[in-house]
């Protein structure tokens, strides 16, 4: 039968991953993690897939998912960081109070870190699935995408915050800009704003270096989690060999 030639070869309990064109292409973080769990489960059952299975397009898809996540989650953290530093330096109120306690200061800092750390921790949950060719390749590409996105976010934030400090909020620029609001806003209010912005601008400089720490933690979280998991499973295997 002619049609029979087009059918894939039967697999006797072997790998059933994705479509004929290779592994499935993730559209978002959830589908990427589901795909990795699927590869890992199949590779535990039936051994590693052939090297050609995970195509270049699959690698790029996983990289893109990690990259988008790293960039977006990092930008949320980048927006919250100057606010947190503003709270710590008593410029911005927290819980309606202008005099933050130590708890409030720590909480503001924790909130600014949480989004990107949570994202990195969510990706780290695949650490146990680092088992065969396909799952390893998928995880490597996802994490390297996350790292690239985080580094790009770092560059954007560094440039943006320095631009805020040296150009936008520089006294010679912010003064004329505020004066344009004069008919709408009273002069004493504008004067207060000018003074506040003049004092607040150094927060952007501090934030641009705090973001380096955030980026480091975002990248290090999944990398360390995967390394620890790999070391743990290697030790387990050696122990099993010893015990026969």
Partner 1 sequence: MLSFISGTGLLDNFNPLNYVSQGEYVYWWSEAYRLVLSGFWGRLIAALCLVGAFWFGVYRKMPGLGIFLFFITVTITYLGGLIKAALWWTN
Nearer to partner 1 (CB atom), residue 98 or residue 234: 98
What tokens does 103 get? 């708890």
Half-sphere exposure at residue 148, Cβ-oriented, CA atoms within 13 angstroms? 14
Of 22, 46, 109, 118, the one binding partner 1 by CB under 8 A: 118
If one asks whether residue 83 binds partner 1 (CB under 8 A), the answer comes out as: yes
CB of 93 to partner 1, least distance (A): 3
Candidate ranges 1-9, 116-124, 200-208, 228-236; the one touching partner 1 (CB under 8 A)? 116-124
If one asks whether residue 121 binds partner 1 (CB under 8 A), the answer comes out as: yes
- Which parts of 20-49 interact with partner 1 (CB under 8 A)? 29-30, 33
Cβ neighbours around 94 below 10 Å, total? 21
Report the C-alpha gap between 70 and 120 in whole angstroms. Answer: 8
Report the C-alpha gap between 213 and 26 in whole angstroms. Answer: 29
Nearer to partner 1 (CB atom), residue 48 or residue 91: 91
Q: Which residues contact 55 (CB under 8 A, 6 or more apart)?
A: 21, 22, 23
Of 114, 140, 148, 233, the one binding partner 1 by CB under 8 A: 114
Q: 193, 199, 163, 167: which is closest to 180 by C-alpha?
A: 193
Which positions touch partner 1 (CB under 8 A)?
29-30, 33, 80, 83, 92-98, 103-104, 107-108, 110-111, 114-115, 118, 121-122, 125, 189
């Amino acid at each position: 039968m002619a049609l029979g030639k087009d059918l894939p070869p039967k697999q006797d309990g072997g790998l059933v991953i994705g479509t004929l064109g290779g592994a499935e292409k993730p559209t978002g973080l959830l589908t990427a993690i589901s795909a990795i769990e699927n590869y890992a489960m199949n590779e535990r059952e039936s051994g590693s897939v052939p090297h050609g299975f995970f195509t270049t397009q699959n690698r790029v898809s996983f990289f893109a998912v990690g990259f988008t996540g790293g960039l977006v989650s990092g930008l949320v953290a980048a927006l919250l960081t100057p606010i947190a530093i503003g709270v710590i330096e008593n410029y911005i109120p927290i819980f309606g109070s202008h005099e933050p306690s130590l708890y409030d200061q720590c909480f503001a800092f924790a909130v600014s870190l949480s989004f990107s750390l949570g994202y990195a921790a969510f990706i780290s949950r695949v650490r146990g699935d680092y088992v065969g060719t396909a799952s390893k390749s998928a995880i490597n590409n996802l994490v390297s995408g996350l790292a690239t996105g985080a580094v790009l976010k770092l560059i954007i934030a560094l440039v943006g915050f320095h631009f805020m400090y040296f150009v936008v909020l520089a006294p010679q620029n912010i003064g004329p800009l505020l004066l344009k609001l004069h008919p709408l806003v009273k002069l004493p209010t504008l004067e207060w704003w000018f003074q506040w912005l003049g004092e607040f601008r150094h927060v952007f400089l501090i934030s641009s270096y705090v973001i380096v720490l955030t980026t480091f933690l975002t990248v290090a979280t999944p990398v360390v989690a995967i390394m620890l998991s790999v070391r743990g499973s290697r030790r387990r295997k050696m122990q099993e060999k010893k015990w026969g």
